[in-house]
Amino acid sequence: MAVDGGPELVQLLTPEGVLVEHPDFALALDDDEWRTRYEHLVMVRRLDAEATALQRHGELGLWAPCQGQEAAQVGAALAMRPTERIFPTYREHGMAYVRGVDPVTLLGLFRGTTLGGWDPAEHGFNLYTIVIGDQTLHAVGYAMGAQRDGAAEGVLVCFGDGASSQGDVAEAFVYAAVNDAPVVFFCQNNQWAISEPLERQTRIPLFKRAAGYGFPGVRVDGNDVLAVQAVVTAALERARAGRGPTLVEAFTYRMGAHTTSDDPTRYRTTAEGEAWRLKDPIERVRAHIVRSGIADAAWLGEVEQRAEALGEHMRSACRAMPDPAPASMFEHVYADAHPVIDRERQWLVTYLAGFTDAPTAGAGAGVG
């Protein structure tokens, strides 16, 4: 049972909410910055709980919860400049939130109204990628493009402990290394790939794999928002300076199920969950800001109200989300005109029009 990150774990805020020093990494936050981090963490957890509830009520087909990984995601996203591109998996709801993607927009993919949902350029946040590990190569290619543009720009790509076994991730490490690509490989090791524990993926700590490819690897406490931001910031600065990639292993825990279709009681113990609950990423920030007088009970209450409002927004907007028009499946399959698409779209429109209770086939909103 992996609970302890070992002696090489970079930590700046203990699970008890005590600030500690590290010889290589430091980050000082002012009071506003602390409050922002706390609020982000609370909002993301609420977002996640709300989406899980919407799935239980039949409004979503599936949801992939990020509970437990909020600090890893918020800390990494805050380390990046707004113009720098993030390549997520399908669980980076915390990063999406920090990047300003409306949580309702995230729901479309899981409700089944879209295969994407947002413009990657608008938020500097790429689309969710469901095939495990594919996005690591996209990020490296994007970083190679940044090199060719002469941009001092970092790129961050997410993947998990399960994805670390994928060939594409190994290839991404090679391509990034030989090109000195300005990319940060951000591995959220949440200990479980659905039912398979870390021991089924690796015999060495994941961050140590970087050495074999010729770039640095760091293991950070993924439940410590301060340490994650500090470590990712350093990796990004290295990337922007043209010194190549870094592997950051955020040692964390998937507190919930893999997805809402999963039953973790079949493969892991409640004792493990309890041990990790003591390392909760939000509780330690709350303990720190309350103890140090950065936040009082009234402000914490306001945050709870804003979280409640977010939940209400998600509930009502999700239920109001229309099904796409049937013929919309033909849109954007190709960028240019295509005879098969044109023929099949026309056929579907005509076919559907033959029904007396026909849904609207063409463009625009379909049936709700």
Partner 1 sequence: MAVLTMAKAINTGLAVAMREDPKVLVMGEDVGRLGGVFRVTDGLQAEFGEERVIDTPLAESGIIGTAVGLAMRGYAPVCEIQFDGFIFPAFDQITTQVARLHLRSDGALCMRVVIRVPSGGGIGAVEHHSESPEAYFAHTPGLRIVTPSNPVDAFTMIRQAVAHPDPVLFLEPKRRYWEKAEVDVTAALPPSIDLFRARVVRRGSDATLLCWGPMVRTCLEAAQADTRDLEVVDARSLAPLDLATIVESVARTGRLVVVHEAPVTGGLGAEIAAAVTEACFYQLEAPVLRVGGFSVPYPPARLEDIYLPDLDRVLEAVDRAMAY
- Is 22 assigned a catalytic role? no
Range list of β-strands (E), the chain: 86-87, 155-160, 183-189, 192-193, 196-197, 217-221, 246-251
Q: Which 3 state secondary structure label does DSSP give 197?
A: strand
Question: Does 148 participate in binding partner 1 (rule CB under 8 A)?
Answer: yes
Question: Does 33 participate in binding partner 1 (rule CB under 8 A)?
Answer: no
Which one of 290-298, 301-309, 312-320, 328-336 is the stretch in contact with partner 1 (CB under 8 A)?
328-336
Contact 56, 95 (CB under 8 A): no
Place of tokens 């140590």: 208
Give the C-alpha separation, 39 to 56, whole Å. 26
Q: What angle do CA 264, 268, 271 make, to 5 degrees?
A: 120
Q: Which 3 state secondary structure label does DSSP give 178?
A: helix
Could you give the angle at which helices 31-56 and 103-111 cross, rounded to 10 degrees? 30
Question: Does 332 participate in binding partner 1 (rule CB under 8 A)?
Answer: yes
State which residue, 139 or 231, has the beta carbon closest to partner 1.
139
Question: Does 336 participate in binding partner 1 (rule CB under 8 A)?
Answer: yes
Which one of 143-151, 222-230, 237-245, 350-358 is the stretch in contact with partner 1 (CB under 8 A)?
143-151
Q: Which residues pair with 87 in a beta bridge?
A: 157
- Is 258 assigned a catalytic role? yes
Give the C-alpha separation, 1 to 276, whole Å. 11
Which one of 9-17, 37-45, 108-116, 347-355 is the stretch in contact with partner 1 (CB under 8 A)?
108-116
Question: Does 178 participate in binding partner 1 (rule CB under 8 A)?
Answer: yes
State which residue, 85 or 284, has the beta carbon closest to partner 1.
85
Give the C-alpha separation, 252 to 106, whole Å. 23
Instruction: Return the structure tokens found at 322.
Output: 């229309």
Please list every residue from 109 through 138 that binds partner 1, using CB under 8 A: 114-116, 119-121, 126-127, 129, 131, 134, 136-138
Q: Which of 56, 200, 267, 291 is catalytic?
A: 267
How deeply is 24 buried, as exposed, middle or buried, from its count of CB atoms within 10 A (0-12, 13-18, 19+)?
Answer: exposed
Question: Does 247 participate in binding partner 1 (rule CB under 8 A)?
Answer: no
Which one of 11-19, 91-99, 139-147, 252-260 is the stretch in contact with partner 1 (CB under 8 A)?
139-147
Give the C-alpha separation, 191 to 333, whole Å. 37
State the nearest-atom distance from the C-beta of 211 to partner 1, in Å: 18
State which residue, 34 or 213, has the beta carbon closest to partner 1.
213
State the nearest-atom distance from the C-beta of 174 to partner 1, in Å: 5
Which residues are identified as catalytic?
A: 254, 258, 267
Q: Give me the residues that bind partner 1 (CB under 8 A), please.
A: 114-116, 119-121, 126-127, 129, 131, 134, 136-146, 148-149, 167-168, 171-172, 174-175, 178, 331-340
